[in-house]
């Protein structure tokens, strides 16, 4: 049984306009707020796992990222939805400023953020799925033993519902 859906942020929850960190650059993916709300109603944890190399590159701070995340949370709350946890990797192995110039275990395609989320939420890998828009998202999920699903386009709610229905059938 699926107890958590892990979502990449840029390209899954919001349109990836490159280094999205302010309301003027923000646009929901079609069906994203509805997908989060639907998951909440099903009692399924919604966990964001996101690479944010813009922090490491000095384009915005961790504080700015957290303020922006809180703003996104307020938009979701207006729709009766919530994100249960956010895991962020600010690192980049070749293009970042110290102390973020690190080949870390949390930057996808490595599974560090996913493994941390599983541990901190007392989840087994088979109790979670991850939806991401890049191959590195799916690779990170698979490295953690979690089913990875690539989102390419369309209504996120439709994808979430069909992914969970397929997962329930295969369980």
Exposed/middle/buried for 162, CB within 10 Å: 0-12, 13-18, 19+? exposed
- What are the CA-CA distances from residue 150 to residues 6, 66, 80, 157 (Å)? 12, 26, 26, 14
pTM: 0.96
Q: Which CATH superfamily is domain 4-170 in?
A: HAD superfamily/HAD-like (3.40.50.1000)
Average pLDDT, the chain: 96
Where along the chain do its domains lie? 4-170
10 catalytic per annotation: yes
**Residue 167: its pLDDT value, please?**
80
Beta strands, E only, the chain: 4-7, 45-51, 85-89, 128-132, 147-150
Tens digits of residue pLDDT in 22-52: 999 999 999 999 999 999 999 999 999 999 9
**Residue 145: its pLDDT value, please?**
98
Tens digits of residue pLDDT in 129-147: 999 999 999 999 999 999 9
8 catalytic per annotation: yes
Whether 99 has a pLDDT exceeding 70, the answer reads yes
User: Residue 170's CB: how many other CB atoms inside 10 A?
Assistant: 7
């Amino acid at each position: 049984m699926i107890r958590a859906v892990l979502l990449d942020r840029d390209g899954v929850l919001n349109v990836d306009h490159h280094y999205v960190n302010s309301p003027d650059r923000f646009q929901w993916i079609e069906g994203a707020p509805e997908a989060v709300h639907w998951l909440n109603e099903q009692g399924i944890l919604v966990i964001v796992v996101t690479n944010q190399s813009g922090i490491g590159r000095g384009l915005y701070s961790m504080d700015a990222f957290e303020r922006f995340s809180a703003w996104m949370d307020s938009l979701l709350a207006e729709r009766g939805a919530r994100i249960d946890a956010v895991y962020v990797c600010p690192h980049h192995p070749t293009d970042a400023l110290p102390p973020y110039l690190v080949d870390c275990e949390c930057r996808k395609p490595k599974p560090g953020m996913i493994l941390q989320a599983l541990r901190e939420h007392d989840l087994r890998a088979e109790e979670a799925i991850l939806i991401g828009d890049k191959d590195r998202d799916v690779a990170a999920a698979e490295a953690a033993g979690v089913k990875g699903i690539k989102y390419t386009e369309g209504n996120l709610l439709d994808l979430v519902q069909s992914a969970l229905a397929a997962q329930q059938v295969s369980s």
